[in-house]
Amino acid sequence: MARHLKAMKKALPFLLLFAAFPGRGQAPAPPAGPTHADSAAALHRVFARERRSGRLAAGAAGLVLGTEVLTGTLRAPTPVGLGVGVGVSALYAYFLTKQAGGFNPFSRRREAEARRRLDAHQPQPFYIQYRLDLAAQK
């Protein structure tokens, strides 16, 4: 018994030392990943950026096509020139309809669907996930 008591007296300073520093020897906690709020904000930023770029593209196309129609019909008011002008106008109208209508893959309706998928922890479609990955790399 005395032998055990002697060993315990020798070990006591080391035990107290380890008790004083409980965090020693433990691995640091891994950094926290993106939270749900971060993911939702990134999703909103991607959709807003794509909607904005779509409107800019529609405006630029409208400017170019409108100028082409105007100069084409004023320079050559022949049936062919008017036909080209009407065709380009129809193409421009189709582009604007497509951009403003339900064909836009980054509409507010599709953003709400993507948000519901995010809330339900379901995978996003490729075109959304690709842009989210690109945004994460920046």
Specify whether the CB–CB gap between 47 and 106 falls below 8 A.
Answer: yes
The answer to whether residue 25 scores a pLDDT higher than 70 is no
Q: What is the pLDDT of residue 76?
A: 57
Q: What is the pLDDT of residue 5?
A: 66
Residue-range domain boundaries for the chain: 40-137
For the chain, give the mean pLDDT. 75
The answer to whether residue 56 scores a pLDDT higher than 80 is no
pLDDT digits (tens, 9 = 90+) for 69-86: 666 655 656 666 666 666
pTM for the full predicted model: 0.56
